[in-house]
């Protein structure tokens, strides 16, 4: 008996089993996201931030960025005790900056431009930022118990320019990311995001439509730039063609001088920039988390 002849009928290709993350249930669809509760949305955002942080940490470990500058490596010992309440020592400001810097070979040297005279237990220091999205003004509060000047968690980045400055940009080395945050992100979600990012070793910088993130140094800080799109318009430097979803459009000029005053229950910090702008920041005090209370920021051209 002859063996059976194999069939020559072509086989039907098997349907593809690859599915999108939304089809596999890993990511919500737009309609599912709209139905989710606020805790569910925050849980997903926190998980994604954690995953990004782990991946970047692995990447930086496998592909190191190089040897940090001497200014970053040499974290000076703090003063023992007994700092003067009458003046902020520029060395204290320099130490604070060194502890905040994320180690990267592209950093600029640390330079303290000036410090203000103390006003009701507060003093300010103008600095040259080692890289972008770093404060150019730091506030210090005198702690009577420790007899030391303590840096305030919230920093200030005063000044705007459309030209690219010489300040190093961490985006060039892939050390920073910008996360779009459209109208679907409520105020509660934004307020939750920043402290959780700081707790995971990130520096959050809030803009109107996105959040900038980069790794922190030994100590973290906070920048609030949610009004900077409007401030650019007030300064007459805004162009309608600029997309306002990336921080590269919010470069910072050099500072010429700063001053600090107190009147009628409000602190007033005034800064003049090298490109002829005057910035004014008023606030009533510092809260327990190191943020400025009742803060108001304004800017005008001085040409």
d(CA 107, CA 3): 78
Domain segments of the chain as ranges: 33-301
Decide: 189 and 40 in contact? Cβ < 8 Å: no
pLDDT value, residue 65: 44
Edge to edge, the sheet with strand 223-225 lists: 177-180, 210-215, 202-207, 223-225
CA 301 vs CA 237, 260, 272, 273: distances in Å = 10, 20, 10, 10
**pLDDT of res. 50:** 64
Pick the more confident residue, 163 or 191.
163
Provide the percentage of residues in the chain whose pLDDT is more than 90.
35
Higher pLDDT, 174 or 115: 115
Across 105-127, average pLDDT: 89
Beta-bridged to residue 112, according to DSSP, are 127
Name the CA radius of gyration of the chain, rounded.
25
What digits encode the pLDDT tens for the residues 41-76? 666 666 666 676 656 555 555 554 443 333 333 344
Q: Is the pLDDT of residue 256 over 70?
A: yes
Report CA-CA distances (Å) from 12 to 9, 15, 126, 261: 9, 9, 72, 80
Smallest CA-to-CA distance from 109 within 137, 135, 128 is with 128
Check residue 177 and give its pLDDT: 83
Does residue 248 carry a pLDDT above 80? no
Mean pLDDT of 149-172: 89
pLDDT value at residue 251: 84
Contact 179, 160 (CB under 8 A): no
Reported as type and span, the H/E element at residue 71 is helix 70-73
0.75 exceeded by pTM: no
Structure-model confidence comparison of residues 163 and 286, the more confident one: 286
pLDDT of 257 over the 90 cut: yes
pLDDT band at 126; cut points 50, 70, 90: very high
Q: Where are the alpha helices (DSSP H) in 117-264?
A: 187-199, 228-234
- What are φ and ψ of residue 242, in 5° steps? -75, 125
DSSP secondary structure of 129-166? -SSSSS-SEEEEEEETTTTEEEE-SB-B----BSS--S
- Tens digit of each residue's pLDDT (9 = 90 or more) over 192-246: 666 666 667 788 888 888 888 888 889 989 899 888 888 988 888 877 666 666 6
Average pLDDT over residues 274-300: 95
**pLDDT by residue (tens digit) across 175-194?**
888 888 766 666 666 666 66
Q: In sequence order, what are the beta bridge partners of 301?
A: 277
């Amino acid at each position: 008996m002859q063996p059976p002849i194999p069939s020559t009928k072509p086989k039907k290709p098997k349907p593809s089993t690859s599915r999108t993350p939304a089809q596999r249930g890993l990511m919500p669809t737009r309609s599912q996201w709209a139905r989710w509760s606020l805790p569910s949305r925050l849980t997903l955002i926190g998980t994604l931030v954690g995953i990004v942080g782990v991946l970047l940490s692995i990447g930086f470990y496998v592909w190191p960025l190089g040897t940090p500058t001497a200014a970053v490596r040499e974290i000076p010992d703090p003063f023992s005790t007994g700092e003067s309440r009458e003046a902020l020592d520029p060395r204290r400001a320099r130490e604070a900056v060194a502890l905040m810097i994320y180690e990267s070979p592209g950093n600029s040297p640390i330079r303290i431009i000036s410090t203000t005279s103390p006003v009701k237990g507060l003093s300010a220091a103008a600095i040259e930022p080692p890289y972008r999205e770093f404060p150019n003004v730091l506030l210090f509060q005198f702690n009577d118990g420790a007899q030391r000047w303590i840096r305030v968690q919230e920093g200030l980045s005063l000044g705007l320019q459309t030209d690219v400055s010489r300040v190093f940009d961490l985006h060039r080395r892939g050390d920073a990311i910008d996360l779009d945050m459209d109208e679907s992100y409520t105020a509660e979600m934004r307020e939750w995001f920043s402290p959780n990012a700081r707790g995971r070793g990130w520096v959050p910088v809030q803009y109107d439509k996105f959040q900038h993130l980069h790794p922190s140094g030994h100590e973290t800080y906070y920048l609030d730039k949610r009004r900077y799109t409007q401030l650019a318009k007030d300064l007459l430097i805004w162009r309608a063609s600029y997309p306002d979803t990336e921080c590269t459009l919010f470069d910072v000029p050099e500072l010429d001088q700063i001053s600090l005053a107190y009147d009628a229950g409000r602190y007033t910090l005034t800064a003049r920039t090298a490109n002829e702008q005057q910035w004014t920041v008023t606030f009533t005090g510092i809260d327990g988390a190191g943020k400025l209370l009742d803060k108001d920021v304004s800017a005008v051209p001085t040409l």
